[in-house]
Amino acid sequence: MEIDKLGKLMKDCGVVGAGGAGFPSYAKLAGGADTLLVNGSECEPLLYTDYYLLKTGMPEVLAGIRELLEALGISRAFLCIKEHTAKRLRLSDGETLAEKVAVKTLPDVYPMGDEISLIYQATGRIVKPGCLPITAGVIVYNVETVCNIAAACNGTPVTMKWLTVGGDIPEAIVVRVPVGTPVTDLFEKYGITVPEDHTVLDGGPSMGKIIDERAVVTKTTKGILILPDETEAIQSKLLDAKRSVARAETACCQCTHCTDMCPRALLGYPIEPHKLVRTARQAVEITPEMAITASLCCGCGVCTSVACCQEISPKAVIDYYKGILAKNKLKYISKEEPKAEPEREYRMIPSERWAKSLGVGRFDRVPVFRGEDREFSRVEVRLSQHIGAPSKAIVGAGEMVEAGQRIADSAEGLSLPQYAPIAGQVKLVTEKKIVIDRG
């Protein structure tokens, strides 16, 4: 299939990066790459979504890879998985899965799922700071995204989402549910209760976001985790920039551990969390050159949860700067190729240690596989499940819709359409969501 045709199908079917920030997948398609990486590193503790997808849906994964290789004219693809996943799947490094497709095992360390780290680990190439992977000749898609691309080639839009439901609950599960399923309905269906003094996350314990009872499953939800408030995973998310700055004023000893351990700094990126903390406490004045380096942070949390022994969150300080940069559409871009630090290999954090540091190691167990479950009576399809302009509703309240029917068009520019995950009646349409009741 031609690249333009594939891109159109991916856009028309609403395919978005299923494991990350929600970048519309069609926008990543471009000529000039020589390597396709399929990211199955599943770096976050407690998540087993990609593992089960690979275990039960390898033919779909390979079909998606085949379409991408053909459209992009790429001669090699690697399925990138961590050593422990490879062991569970009985795959080995270098093993051929199909023509031009081989397994690439990654060390059991955190973070590996970050595109920049993944590309370096799998190919030895470093993406120039602020540049896209394509500039290093690489295109990266998550495992589930590749499955959704295979489905898009048959005209099937994204209406379902695989996710792990886990944490401090008796039985963790991996299940596929309609996009827009309210998290409270999901819990009720599977008899899950959130104990007192626990918090619910959308995503993993490292980079997931705290959600409340209004949350719904989106196209980017890889997991829903219930974790005790006292865990570092939750505490680190409650440390806001203000409190961190206040603590930094008295407690930051400028030991530089946060910079020494930063995975991006270890790849030669010009980011120095300890300096950004110093500017936040007004020990030195922030310069635009220094502030803009905050945009190179991948948000992994290593500086906060492992490196700093003074309970300061360099990440919260950096997030504050990142917010200002994003509002002003500013980011660091360099034409210089960085060099990885020789110490990098010894400073990466073993996955087990990372899980323990976050206080979640005790909840780590392989979930029970529940397969697909479409039996939910209500969905709330968010119109902004992707980076870019929100989708535009094309249905009105009271209208009956079929499962798979288009209910919102993409807007101008970077955007995606939305489809009804269940058949039923449209109950509510706002600028932010479309609610459908099975009736």
Task: Identify which of 222, 202, 229 has the alpha carbon closest to the alpha carbon of residue 214.
Answer: 202
Is 116 near ligand SF4 (CB under 6 A)?
Answer: no
By the rule CB under 6 A, 302 interacts with ligand SF4:
yes
Choice from 119, 252, 280, 416 touching ligand SF4 (CB under 6 A): 252
CA distance 191 to 198: 16
Q: Is 273 in the site for ligand SF4 (CB under 6 A)?
A: yes
**Comparison of 18 and 276: residue with beta carbon closer to ligand SF4:** 276
Contact region with ligand SF4 (CB under 6 A), list: 122-130, 206-214, 234-242, 313-321: 313-321
Nearest to 54 by CA among 22, 86, 77: 86
Nearest to ligand SF4 of 183, 300 (CB atom): 300
Radius of gyration over alpha carbons of the chain, in Å? Answer: 21
Contact (Cβ atoms closer than 8 angstroms) between residue 13 and residue 20: no
User: How far from the centroid of its chain's Cα atoms is residue 403's Cα?
Assistant: 26
Binding marks (x or -) toward ligand SF4, 145..164, rule CB under 6 A?
--------------------
For ligand SF4, which residue of 65, 307, 360, 434 counts as binding (CB under 6 A)?
A: 307
Q: Is 301 in the site for ligand SF4 (CB under 6 A)?
A: yes
Using CA atoms, how far residue 329 sits from 132, 299, 324, 332, in Å, is 16, 18, 9, 10
Q: How many helices (H) and strands (E) does the chain have?
A: 16, 20
Residue count, binding to ligand SF4 (CB under 6 A): 28
For 151, phi then psi, to 5°, come to -65, -40
Residue 330 neighbours by CB distance under 10 Å: 15
Closer residue to ligand SF4 in complex, CB, 226/233: 233
β 392-393/406-409 pair status: antiparallel
Least distance in Å: CB of 245 to ligand SF4?
A: 11
Does the protein bind ligand SF4 through residue 275 (CB under 6 A)? no
Which structure tokens are listed for 264? 């991006």
Site string for ligand SF4, 202-241 (x = CB under 6 A): ----------------------------------------
Residues that bind ligand SF4 (CB under 6 A): 252-258, 262-264, 271, 273-274, 277, 297-303, 307-308, 310, 312, 314-315, 318
